[in-house]
Every structure is written in structure tokens, then in C-alpha cells.
Amino acid sequence: MTGVSGHMGAEVLKQCMELADAELIRVLLSARKRNNKLVKRLKKKYGARLEVVRGSVSNRIACAELVRGADYVVHMAAVIPPRSDADPEASYECNTSGAVALIDAVKAASPQPSYIHISTVALYGNRNEKHPYGRVGDPLLVSPFDCYAMHKLRGERYCLDAGLDRFVVLRQTAMLYPDMMRANVSDGLMFHTALNAPLEWATARDSGYLIRRILERDVRGEIGGFWNNIYNIGAGERGRETGYDTFNDGFAIIGGSAEKFFKPHWLATRNFHGVWFYDADELEELFHYQRDGVHEYWKEIGRAHKVYALGKLVPKGLIHFFLFRRLLKHPNSPRRWVGDGDEARCAAAFGSLGAARELSHDWKDYKLIAKGDFGDYEAMRSASWAKREGRLLSHGFDDEKPMAEWTIGDAKAAAAFRGGECLSDRFAGDVYGKIEWRCADGHDFEASPFTVMRGGHWCPMCCQPTPWDFDRLSRRNPYFAQVWYDSHSPEELVRYDAEEGGGARMTPVREEV
């Protein structure tokens, strides 16, 4: 396992140690000093059943030692926001280089272990009330300046086309964990959350239980058809909220709400990542791991941290000012970008610097999914609503056909919907073998039908930012346009790029005929 110092990884380790079939669990932990205490604590708790390899996940020697003799490899290590925002190099080293090094180690092992790759909902980019539901196969439109998602995208793609014998990619949704409240009051990151962003939460505890169920069922030979596929990890209907009611749930444990602690213009209106999973039931039907409801879990957090109850005794105006308003000056806060005149980041988050400055400060002027301003909210939170209302995105071919029945005609239809071509004439029924494609920009590339048609990946030269060029690409790519234009105007035509030292740049581009 990698990533056991994280919230999901800690739960996976804890729950898999309860498996009688787990004779030895070997974990990779970086050589950072803060992990020294963790190593001592884990060794004391688990003894000889735990083996620790120290080193970076991008270190190929460490990766080879980690996977030596393993039956399973579970890759959970990630550098996530806000650290990935502040240190893009660390994000790349872990989320891309680390994934590549570990996958290469798995491929070189003999026999190959089964490989579980934890990816992220962030690959789907920004969603709102127009298409709140997503599923595997949807476009991967990483939000501008989201280095975490960009680097995870590259790592996932490498996994899909690596030719591993037995793998699975699990795209993790937004995750609740016990100290979430404390962890999010030191940075402007919380203000990136759009109030109408559809968020499907899952707890770290349920995510850990999912991995346990995968391993215990596979050891018994019960899930052969599960492997070599991609799934979304979600909690289903009881985990579905929006940014607005997520803040309400969290702030309720200190006696507040979004409207008591925030002003609506503090938060970005787009460029986030969140989606309700239409296909959340696929993993649930196999593993029955969805046990925690989001509302109940927030209450559990409140009970576990009695100190939060003291917030109910503090005047709400003081919490507003001293706990949250101070974060508006943080370099990672959208209002700081407005104050600094950062046109690139404001354009990404609001549409333009002018739009950010014109946002109302009054809650009564803000339309909210959670208040029914876009239809019956309770009805929307049921996945059947998406099908009934025609709100699912098209994949450009009959995606209800089993993968084993895909034809070259399906591949050509998918390519045409992406504004490109499938250059191959056949793929002989092997959806995992690479074939040739061409994008609208004329780039020729190789990828498997599985990577493109099931995974939602496309041209590695123009669709794996930087730069983020989706304004221009969507003009020729209906597959992208159907969701990109939910929160962007067809008249927008800029390219977003990151600069050295964490800066942001926005460049007007000219669409060639």
C-alpha cells in the first residue's frame, strides 16, 4: 500500500489488517521526519504483520521493494489541495511520476500483483445544475489551474494503457474524514467550492471498507468480472449535496450556517470539481460498502469533537469575522484574486474580473439548487431524475453495449463526436489493445478503445493540460462542448496556463479555420 498516512489510506490499512487472509501488509512511507512517529505507532500496533519501506513513491527502487512478492498493490498516495496548489512540483512528483514508477514496478514483477489505482472525481471538472450527474465515460475536463487533477489525470491514463494483467481504477469522490473541519480553516481553499457544485460525499471509513471488501471477495474468487475496469466511488443518494448545504451541515456543529458565516460573493461560481455519480450503484451492488450517510456523519464529527459545541456559545458575527473573514486575504482565496486584479484566476473562477466584482453580497439575490431554484431538489438527488430529464452526457456511441461487443464502428463514432477520427480499421475485439486516433488539431496518437471510450480520455497532446485550452477545443469537440458550455460562454476564447512560482496566465487565442 501507498498513502497510508492519508485519511483513506489509514482506514484501508486498519480495515485490511482485520482480514485473516492478510498475512503481511507492506507499506511505503516517505522519509519525512513526521512519518517517524507514525512508523513506530504502526509497528507497535501491528507487529510482524506490517513491513515498512521508506522512500518516495517516485523512487523506482523503493517501488520495486514495495511490490516484491505482493498479491495486491493498492495505490492511494496523493498530494492534494491545498498543498498541490502551493507546490505543483510535489504534486507532479507524487501524482504523475509516482504513479508511473509504481505501475512500472507492478508490470515488471513476476508474477504481476493485482493493481488497485485510486483516482479522483476531480478529473470530471466543473459541474452545475445543468448536468449534475456524471458517470464513467464522461469527458475529463480538468479545471484550469487545478494541478492536482491535472497530475492525477496523467497518472490514471498511464495506468489504463500500461498493459497490466489485472488492474482497476477507482475514481474517489469528495471524502469526509473526522478532522475535516479543523483541516479547512487555514487556507482559502474552501472558497473555491461553488455553492451550486453537486458534491457526492463518501466517508474515509466507507472507502476503507470498500477496499477491504474487494480483497476479501477476490480471495474467495467471487469477482472475476470486476477487474480491468473503471468505477466511481460514491455514497449514492444519501451522500448527495451541493456546496451550499455541505457548508450548512458542517457549520451546524458549531451553531452556524453558510449564510451566517459567509457572504455569497466570497465563493467561486465555477471552476470547481464535483459531480453526483449516476453509476454509484455499480460498486455498491458488488461490495455493499455504503454505510455512512453524510448528515449522520457530520453529527458524528460533532460528537467526536466536543470542542466544536463551544462555537454555539460564541456570537456568530465573531466567528464570521475571526474564523472565516480573515481567510479572504489568503493567497489561495478568490477574493484575494479579485483584490489583486488577478484576471486569469478570476476569469477561471467567475468568468471575468468584472463579473467577480459585480457579484451581489446579498443572499436573496443568489439562486441555489438546494433551495429549489432550479427544480425539485429532492427529486434531483435521485439518479433516476437524470435519466428521466435527459441530463446524462452523450459518449458518442451506444455505451449501453457491453465492452466485449464494441466494434470499430463504435470507435469511429466516438472519435467523430470528439471532432476527430479513428484511423484504424479494426481492433479485433481487444478493447485494451492500442489503436490509432487523430484529434481535431491533427495530432495522431495511440490509445486503447477502453481508454478513450470507457475512460473518457482523448488526445494526450492537447487534452492533458497545461495549458488549459478547453475554450478553443470545445468549438470543434461536441463531446467537450456539451458540458464545458454549462459554465462557459461559447464566446470565451482564452487559454489558461500556470507560471513559474505559482503564477497564473490567461492568453486570448485565435481559432484557426
Secondary structure (DSSP) of 36-60? HHHHHHHHHHHGGGEEEEES-TT-H
The answer to whether residue 391 sits within a structural domain is no
What is d(CA 408, CA 293) in angstroms, rounded to the nearest whole number?
43
pLDDT per position as a tens digit, 272-289: 999 999 999 999 999 999
pLDDT per position as a tens digit, 12-33: 999 999 999 999 999 999 988 8
- Examine the domain organization and report whether 71 and 184 are in the same domain: yes
Residue with cell 505559482: 502
- Examine the domain organization and report whether 138 and 261 are in the same domain: yes
The band of 414, judged by pLDDT with boundaries at 50, 70 and 90, is very high
Listed in sequence order, the residues at least 6 apart from 36 whose beta carbon sits closer than 8 Å to its beta carbon are none
Structure-model confidence comparison of residues 8 and 463, the more confident one: 8
The answer to whether residue 398 sits within a structural domain is no
Question: According to the model, what pLDDT value does residue 425 have?
Answer: 94
Here the cell at position 14 is 486498519
Q: Are 343 and 506 in contact (CB under 8 A)?
A: yes
The band of 219, judged by pLDDT with boundaries at 50, 70 and 90, is very high
What is the per-residue burial (b if ≥16 Cβ within 10 Å, else e) of 258-290? bbebbbbbbbbbbbbbbbbbbbbebbbebbebb
> In the Cβ-directed half-sphere of 91, how many Cα atoms lie within 13 Å?
20
- Examine the domain organization and report whether 293 and 414 are in the same domain: no
Angle at 11 (CA atoms; ends 83, 17), nearest 5 degrees: 135
Question: According to the model, what pLDDT value does residue 319 have?
Answer: 86
Alpha-helical runs (H) found in 325-407: 334-340, 343-350, 353-358, 377-380, 383-388
pLDDT per position as a tens digit, 70-120: 999 999 999 999 999 999 999 999 999 999 999 999 999 999 999 999 999
> In the Cβ-directed half-sphere of 429, how many Cα atoms lie within 13 Å?
2
Among 144-153, 384-393, 457-466, the least confident range: 457-466
**What mean pLDDT, rounded, does the chain reach?**
94
What is d(CA 415, CA 421) in angstroms, rounded to the nearest whole number?
5
pLDDT per position as a tens digit, 40-72: 999 999 999 999 999 999 999 999 999 999 999
Total of domains in the chain: 2
Question: According to the model, what pLDDT value does residue 316 have?
Answer: 86
The answer to whether residue 286 sits within a structural domain is yes
Among 178, 171, 186, 11, smallest CA distance to 81 is for: 186
The answer to whether residue 366 sits within a structural domain is no
C-alpha to C-alpha distances, 355 to 118, 264, 392, nearest whole angstrom: 36, 13, 29
Here the cell at position 93 is 512528483
Residue 237 pLDDT more than 90? yes
- Examine the domain organization and report whether 119 and 252 are in the same domain: yes
Question: According to the model, what pLDDT value does residue 12 have?
Answer: 98
Other beta carbons within 10 Å of 355? 14
- Examine the domain organization and report whether 188 and 61 are in the same domain: yes
What's the CATH code of the domain at 262?
3.40.50.720
Residue with cell 479494426: 426
Q: Are 384 and 240 in contact (CB under 8 A)?
A: no
Q: Are 149 and 98 in contact (CB under 8 A)?
A: no
pTM: 0.96
Alpha-helical runs (H) found in 241-352: 243-252, 258-261, 281-287, 294-304, 316-319, 334-340, 343-350
Write down which residue in 299, 334, 349 finishes a domain.
Answer: 299
Q: Are 451 and 160 in contact (CB under 8 A)?
A: yes
Q: Are 105 and 98 in contact (CB under 8 A)?
A: no
Q: Are 306 and 312 in contact (CB under 8 A)?
A: no
Other beta carbons within 10 Å of 358? 11
- Examine the domain organization and report whether 196 and 49 are in the same domain: yes
Angle at 337 (CA atoms; ends 248, 482), nearest 5 degrees: 70
The band of 502, judged by pLDDT with boundaries at 50, 70 and 90, is confident
The answer to whether residue 365 sits within a structural domain is no
Listed in sequence order, the residues at least 6 apart from 38 whose beta carbon sits closer than 8 Å to its beta carbon are 5, 29
- Examine the domain organization and report whether 171 and 43 are in the same domain: yes
Domain interval for residue 467 = 403-455+458-508
Residue with cell 451553531: 255
Question: According to the model, what pLDDT value does residue 179 have?
Answer: 82
Structure-model confidence comparison of residues 254 and 447, the more confident one: 447
The answer to whether residue 129 sits within a structural domain is yes
Write down which residue in 243, 274, 299 finishes a domain.
Answer: 299
Write down which residue in 284, 299, 314 finishes a domain.
Answer: 299
The answer to whether residue 182 sits within a structural domain is yes
The band of 186, judged by pLDDT with boundaries at 50, 70 and 90, is confident
What is d(CA 487, CA 473) in angstroms, rounded to the nearest whole number?
15
The answer to whether residue 348 sits within a structural domain is no
- Examine the domain organization and report whether 99 and 218 are in the same domain: yes
Angle at 422 (CA atoms; ends 421, 425), nearest 5 degrees: 140
DSSP bridge pairs for 208: none
Question: According to the model, what pLDDT value does residue 513 have?
Answer: 40
In the chain the first and final C-alpha atoms are separated, in Å, by: 50
Listed in sequence order, the residues at least 6 apart from 139 whose beta carbon sits closer than 8 Å to its beta carbon are 124, 125, 393, 456, 458, 479, 480, 482, 483, 484
